[in-house]
Chains A and B, each alone.
Chain A
Amino acid sequence: MLIFILKRLGLAVLVAFTVSFISFSLLFMAGDPAAALAGETASGEDIESIRKLYGFDRPMLVQYGDWLISALQFNFGESYYFRLPVSSLIVDRLGVTMTLGVCGITFALLTAVPLGVAAAIRPNSIIDRVALFLSVAGQAMPSFWFGLILIVIFAIQLGWLPPSGASSPAHFIMPTIVLGYYAMPAIMRLTRAGMLDVLSSDYIRTARAKGAPEGRVLFRHALRNAIIPVVSLAAVQMGFMLGGSIVVESIFALHGAGFLAWESIARNDLPTVQALILVFSMFYIVFTFLADVLNAWLDPRMRSS
């Protein structure tokens, strides 16, 4: 188990370095950073002096090394727009994003897994059909539209929930539902398919032959095996929620990291964009790693491979 964890950790670090290089080089793909920084009215001389000032004239690998060493110390330079350290900007915004992400994935898992299990127990039953309808609807509705519909109903017409902002737990209810509902269909379908597959397996028959009660057969024997691919999927979804909640954060005016990313892209604030891409990628890497460890715990076969 320890060897497995170390191997995966090594792999994760490797991926992290690759990602850091890619996110660094984005700066150069987006055009001349000095020109962007200098503004539209700047002269050629101004641009050259900015190029020197920010060190853009050095070889790219040297710049990358510099940037990486700072990044490892959580120093991403200064935001072009806010004129503040990028790291403190991100730290300020991350709380909202993480709260939203954790709530979103929890909501998704708590609805998707029970629905998936129920659908698998009775395929083609009413429950299965309702679950199918919900997942198709979830997949088909764009988040921004679903978010607006919720605002219209629950904030404007019924007045039950605040339409925007992040000042109380109630502010997070609608964003959680919108974000969670986006992840729900895939998790639900995977749970259902996994359960159907496992329930027809020989070892489930063995469990029944031992006289195990149905609940024990379903949850101890079947779900434990069926949930393994779901864990991997949920990890990716979680990474997505932390990085990709840009739309949801914009609709509900939650000033989280996703919203910051959107602002920074709009303002060509490259150090911030770079840092956010790196942080979001790290989330993916960390969650994938955690999912691997969790899966190895769930499935002993994975530990030895």
Chain B
Amino acid sequence: MENPLLSVRNLTLDIPVGGGTLHAVRGIDFDLMRGETLCIVGESGSGKSLTSLALMGLLGKTIRRSADRMDFDGTDILTAKPRAMRALRGDRMAMIFQEPMTSLNPAYTIGDQLTEALLLHKSVGREAARERAIELLEKVGITAARSRLGQYPHQLSGGLRQRVMIAMALMCEPELIIADEPTTALDVTIQAQILRLLYDLGREMNMAMILITHDLGVVARVADKVAVMYAGELVETGPATDVFNTPSHPYTRGLLRCIPQPGKTERGSTLGTIPGIVPSLIGDVQGCAFRTRCPFAQAECKADIPRREEGTHMFRCIHPDGKRHAEEEVTA
């Protein structure tokens, strides 16, 4: 069997804070094959963004990162020297950020910023780099690409800037691209366009992609694999079809109820919500973090929750079918 491009085991991120330690990400595992798209979903504060920054080696100095394994195509990115990580970043793994308005340097032209990664990583001349930049700008659907190279970020709209960010990430034809909510800051009308573009280009270049998003509609369309994060933990992960057809964690089912599903959701019916808030992750977190909001919670949920696996479909819940034990009332 082919080796995964990216393999992560027991990734843990701790942030020392005033009152103790914030366990922002707690032991997550996943594998990503070449050309595969993994969608990480979960609400704000679930550790999605931190996970992606941890993969890129871009975490702040105060965050403690540990893992049993973090392997990118044979390179151990957990112990890699800064120089080795720099060689990977922008060349073999690239990232697209949430905020196109502030993610470009205001002092330099689009051309300068597009060609930077290529000039840093590959031995190409300035002219060749500019040609490549024009080619990619055209690919991401920017018209008059040649004249854009001399423009500054403030002269472009948010949608255009995000297209530039995508082109920038693709300059060196990375094997892995991480997109952290790339459309959150954009107008609804162009969100779908940008995602489609990203997905098509990913397919075309056979890139593996980690797409972080709130939008389950997007996930349903593009994901090969889905990972559902809740409070720093992967509560459910597996092939997209399995997760969508047999969602096994109550949180996943809750998320799915929050979006309308063509053909299933009746016109005029109320969409679901998940009541409550994400618990504090400061100090020791015991048992299932979702139990305070789970309609099926019971006494056992306070203990450690074992992983349950059906093939490649994994979830952490002791009653995946959602049946409430009659003799026990909702606790916690």
List A residues at the B interface (Cβ < 8 Å): 201-203, 205-214, 221, 224-225, 298-301, 304
Asked if B326 CB lies within 8 Å of chain A CBs, one says no
In the complex the two chains form, what is the Cα distance from A301 to B86 in whole Å?
30
Sample 14 A-B pairs with CB under 8 A, ordered by A number: A203-B102, A203-B105, A205-B103, A206-B105, A206-B165, A207-B105, A208-B89, A210-B94, A210-B120, A224-B107, A225-B107, A299-B106, A300-B152, A304-B154
Residue of B nearest to A207 (CB): B105
Tally of contacts, chain A with chain B, CB under 8 A: 70
Inside 8 A of B105's CB, which chain A residues have their CB?
A: 203, 206-207, 221, 225
Q: Are A211 and B117 in contact (CB under 8 A)?
A: yes
Contact among A201, A202, A211, A224 for B90, CB-based, below 8 A: A211
Known: A209-B56, A209-B95, A225-B106. A301 touches B152 (CB 8 A): yes
Asked if B91 CB lies within 8 Å of chain A CBs, one says yes
Shortest beta-carbon distance, A294 to chain B, in Å? 13
Which of B102, B105, B109, B116: most chain A Cβ within 10 A?
Answer: B105
Contact among A202, A210, A224 for B99, CB-based, below 8 A: A202
Q: Are B58 and A211 in contact (CB under 8 A)?
A: no
In the complex the two chains form, what is the Cα distance from A202 to B109 in whole Å?
16
Asked if B319 CB lies within 8 Å of chain A CBs, one says no
Q: Are A209 and B90 in contact (CB under 8 A)?
A: yes
The 10 tightest CB contacts between A and B, nearest first, are: A211-B90, A210-B90, A211-B89, A202-B102, A210-B117, A300-B152, A203-B105, A202-B103, A211-B86, A209-B95
Contact among A202, A206, A298, A304 for B107, CB-based, below 8 A: A298
Inside 8 A of A209's CB, which chain B residues have their CB?
A: 56, 58, 89-90, 94-95, 97
Inside 8 A of B121's CB, which chain A residues have their CB?
A: 211
Shortest beta-carbon distance, A66 to chain B, in Å? 48
Q: Are B107 and A208 in contact (CB under 8 A)?
A: no
Q: B83-117 toward A: CB 8 Å interface, digit per residue (1/0)?
A: 00011111100110101001111110100000011
Residue of B nearest to A300 (CB): B152
Q: Are B106 and A301 in contact (CB under 8 A)?
A: yes
Q: Are B117 and A205 in contact (CB under 8 A)?
A: no
Residue of B nearest to A206 (CB): B103
In the complex the two chains form, what is the Cα distance from A230 to B116 in whole Å?
26
Shortest beta-carbon distance, A218 to chain B, in Å? 13
Given contacts A209-B56, A212-B90, A225-B107, 12 further A-B contacts (CB under 8 A): A203-B102, A208-B58, A210-B90, A210-B116, A211-B88, A211-B91, A212-B86, A212-B120, A221-B105, A225-B105, A300-B106, A301-B154
In the complex the two chains form, what is the Cα distance from A301 to B104 in whole Å?
13
Number of interface residues of B (CB under 8 A): 29
Residue of A nearest to B104 (CB): A203
Residue of A nearest to B89 (CB): A211
Inside 8 A of A225's CB, which chain B residues have their CB?
A: 105-107
In the complex the two chains form, what is the Cα distance from A221 to B107 in whole Å?
8
Which of A203, A211, A300, A304: most chain B Cβ within 10 A?
Answer: A211
Inside 8 A of A212's CB, which chain B residues have their CB?
A: 86, 90, 116, 120
Contact among A207, A211, A224, A301 for B87, CB-based, below 8 A: A211
In the complex the two chains form, what is the Cα distance from A210 to B152 in whole Å?
19
Shortest beta-carbon distance, A123 to chain B, in Å? 11
Q: Are B102 and A201 in contact (CB under 8 A)?
A: yes
Inside 8 A of A298's CB, which chain B residues have their CB?
A: 107
Residue of B nearest to A213 (CB): B86
Q: B279-323 toward A: CB 8 Å interface, digit per residue (1/0)?
A: 000000000000000000000000000000000000000000000
Shortest beta-carbon distance, A211 to chain B, in Å? 4
Q: Are B88 and A299 in contact (CB under 8 A)?
A: no
Inside 8 A of B107's CB, which chain A residues have their CB?
A: 224-225, 298-300
Shortest beta-carbon distance, B243 to chain A, in Å? 29
Residue of B nearest to A200 (CB): B60
